[in-house]
């Protein structure tokens, strides 16, 4: 009975008062059993998919349409897509679901996002973004009385800052990955303590550094306008944190260890090179971040949720990539992130 009341209260939030009045006048009070059955269904689907409810229960849920997201690209792209389309759906008072795909299967192994997995067929009519790395009103302007397939990059924090707590809950690591990342940090800390004869009481500040180079240096990408951050940027960024903290460790994840070991200082600097999702988890468990380019960098910092230092020239001037950003690039880089220019 307690559950029933709890659920019913929860359910009431989703039903406009006028609707209930009309329902009561037309049909009398809804039968308790049918309400309970519907609530069970709502619980199962986490109110994310009215179409998944049995026909008999649909009248209980106000008719909302659904944004169905088709994922594309890799980890960082997928996180932008999920966060942004979730935010857009919320802003437009629509439901959010993910189209089942291989991407999703992999994401599920990394994050606890089971509650979002609904296997339904997505609509054909689709909406996409034009400027991948900026906020666009246009994708918010379509009417919300139709289901849509969402396909694009949506790489702007402006799409989802209003649902930040929910996004953080959604992107919680699976325990196995979290534990492995924690072990790595612990191991490095122990090693560091021994090396510098520190006591375990010295509280440590972890600064994650992500250095993306590899694919960004390929001729094709250079032509499109992709850039990498230069050595001096990392040096200045590390100095920024050295000035603030006494006991710190830099944790570096990179696809170019050779360049990094040659160009970065060595003191209190440790390299982690495991599966990409372990590196990602380690970076996002650090207290603060130094990022380079690309959405993997971006998300490791957003999840770490401390101070973030970034390289403010993500593209070469007069290139294709430049056309994907807003002129000030602040649609892409959150306002409290700190640019370090050189």
Taking the complex as a whole, how short is the minimal distance between the CB of residue 230 and ligand NAG, in angstroms?
28
Under the binding rule (CB under 6 A), the answer on residue 206 touching ligand NAG is yes
Under the binding rule (CB under 6 A), the answer on residue 261 touching ligand NAG is no
Taking the complex as a whole, how short is the minimal distance between the CB of residue 61 and ligand NAG, in angstroms?
15
Taking the complex as a whole, how short is the minimal distance between the CB of residue 121 and ligand NAG, in angstroms?
7
In angstroms, rounded to a whole number, what is the distance separating the alpha carbons of residues 281 and 55? Answer: 42
Residue 331 sits at φ, ψ, to 5 deg, of -70, -30
Q: Which of 41, 79, 163, 184 forms a contact with ligand NAG (CB under 6 A)?
A: 184
Q: For residues 237 and 272, which CB has a smaller minimum distance to ligand NAG in the complex?
A: 272
Under the binding rule (CB under 6 A), the answer on residue 35 touching ligand NAG is no
Under the binding rule (CB under 6 A), the answer on residue 162 touching ligand NAG is no
In angstroms, rounded to a whole number, what is the distance separating the alpha carbons of residues 95 and 76? Answer: 23
Please report, for residues 42, 77, 157, the alpha-carbon distance to residue 6 in angstroms, rounded to integers and kept in the order given: 13, 37, 34
Interacting positions 47-106 with ligand NAG (CB under 6 A): 100
DSSP 68-131: EEPP-SSHHHHHHHHHHHHHHHHHTT-EEEE---HHHHHHHHHB--GGG----PPPS-EE--SS
Under the binding rule (CB under 6 A), the answer on residue 119 touching ligand NAG is yes
Please report, for residues 23, 160, 207, 241, 296, the alpha-carbon distance to residue 338 in angstroms, rounded to integers and kept in the order given: 54, 20, 14, 12, 18
Under the binding rule (CB under 6 A), the answer on residue 139 touching ligand NAG is no
In angstroms, rounded to a whole number, what is the distance separating the alpha carbons of residues 89 and 197? Answer: 53
CA nearest neighbour of 210 among 252, 181, 239, 242: 252
Q: For residues 72 and 119, which CB has a smaller minimum distance to ligand NAG in the complex?
A: 119
The token pair at 192 is 């560091």
Residue 105 sits at φ, ψ, to 5 deg, of -60, -40
Q: For residues 176 and 218, which CB has a smaller minimum distance to ligand NAG in the complex?
A: 176
Taking the complex as a whole, how short is the minimal distance between the CB of residue 313 and ligand NAG, in angstroms?
29
Given a contact cutoff of 8 angstroms between Cβ atoms, the answer to whether 251 and 341 are in contact is no
In angstroms, rounded to a whole number, what is the distance separating the alpha carbons of residues 280 and 44? Answer: 31
**Phi-psi map region of 130: left, alpha, beta (phi>0 left; psi -120 to 50 alpha):** alpha
Taking the complex as a whole, how short is the minimal distance between the CB of residue 262 and ligand NAG, in angstroms?
20
Taking the complex as a whole, how short is the minimal distance between the CB of residue 119 and ligand NAG, in angstroms?
4
Element (H, E) at 250: strand 248-254
Q: For residues 52 and 321, which CB has a smaller minimum distance to ligand NAG in the complex?
A: 52
Interacting positions 219-258 with ligand NAG (CB under 6 A): none
Under the binding rule (CB under 6 A), the answer on residue 170 touching ligand NAG is yes
Q: For residues 103 and 132, which CB has a smaller minimum distance to ligand NAG in the complex?
A: 103
Stretch that binds ligand NAG, among 39-47, 59-67, 156-164, 307-315 (CB under 6 A): 39-47
Q: Which of 126, 191, 196, 320 forms a contact with ligand NAG (CB under 6 A)?
A: 191
Taking the complex as a whole, how short is the minimal distance between the CB of residue 233 and ligand NAG, in angstroms?
24
Taking the complex as a whole, how short is the minimal distance between the CB of residue 166 and ligand NAG, in angstroms?
5
Q: State the first-to-last Cα distance of the chain, in angstroms, to the nearest integer.
A: 65
SS3 222: helix
Under the binding rule (CB under 6 A), the answer on residue 172 touching ligand NAG is no
Interface residue list for ligand NAG (CB under 6 A)? 3, 6-7, 39-40, 43, 46, 100, 115, 119, 166, 169-170, 183-185, 187, 191, 199, 201, 206, 285, 287
């Amino acid at each position: 009975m307690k559950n029933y009341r709890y659920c019913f209260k929860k359910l009431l939030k989703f039903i406009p008062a006028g609707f209930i009045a009309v329902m009561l006048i037309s049909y009398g009070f809804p039968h308790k059993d049918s309400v309970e059955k519907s609530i069970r269904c709502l619980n199962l689907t986490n109110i994310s998919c009215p179409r998944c409810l049995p026909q008999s229960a649909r009248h209980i849920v106000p008719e909302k349409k659904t944004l169905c997201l088709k994922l594309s690209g890799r980890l960082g792209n997928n996180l932008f897509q999920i966060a942004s389309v979730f935010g857009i759906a919320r802003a437009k008072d629509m439901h959010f679901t993910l189209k089942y795909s291989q991407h999703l299967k992999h994401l599920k192994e990394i994050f606890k996002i089971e509650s979002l997995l609904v296997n339904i067929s997505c609509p054909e009519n689709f909406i996409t973004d034009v400027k991948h790395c900026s906020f666009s009103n246009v994708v918010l302007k379509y009417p919300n009385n139709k289901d849509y397939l969402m396909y694009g990059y949506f790489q702007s924090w402006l799409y989802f800052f209003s649902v930040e707590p929910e996004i953080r809950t959604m992107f919680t690591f699976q325990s196995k990955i979290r534990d492995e990342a924690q072990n790595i940090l612990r191991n490095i800390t122990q090693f560091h303590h021994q090396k510098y004869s520190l006591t375990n009481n010295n509280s440590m500040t972890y600064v994650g550094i992500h250095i993306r180079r590899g694919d960004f240096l390929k001729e094709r990408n250079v032509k499109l306008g992709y850039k990498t951050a230069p050595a001096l940027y990392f040096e200045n960024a590390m100095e920024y944190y050295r000035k603030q903290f006494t006991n710190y460790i830099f944790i570096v994840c990179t696809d170019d260890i050779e360049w990094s070991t040659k160009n970065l200082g060595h003191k209190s600097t440790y390299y982690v090179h495991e599966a990409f999702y372990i590196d990602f988890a380690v970076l996002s468990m650090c207290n603060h971040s130094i990022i380079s380019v690309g959405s993997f960098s971006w998300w490791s910092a957003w999840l770490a949720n401390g101070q973030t230092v970034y390289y403010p020239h993500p593209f070469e001037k007069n290139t294709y990539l430049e056309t994907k950003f807003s002129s000030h690039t602040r649609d892409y880089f959150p306002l409290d992130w700190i640019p370090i220019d050189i």
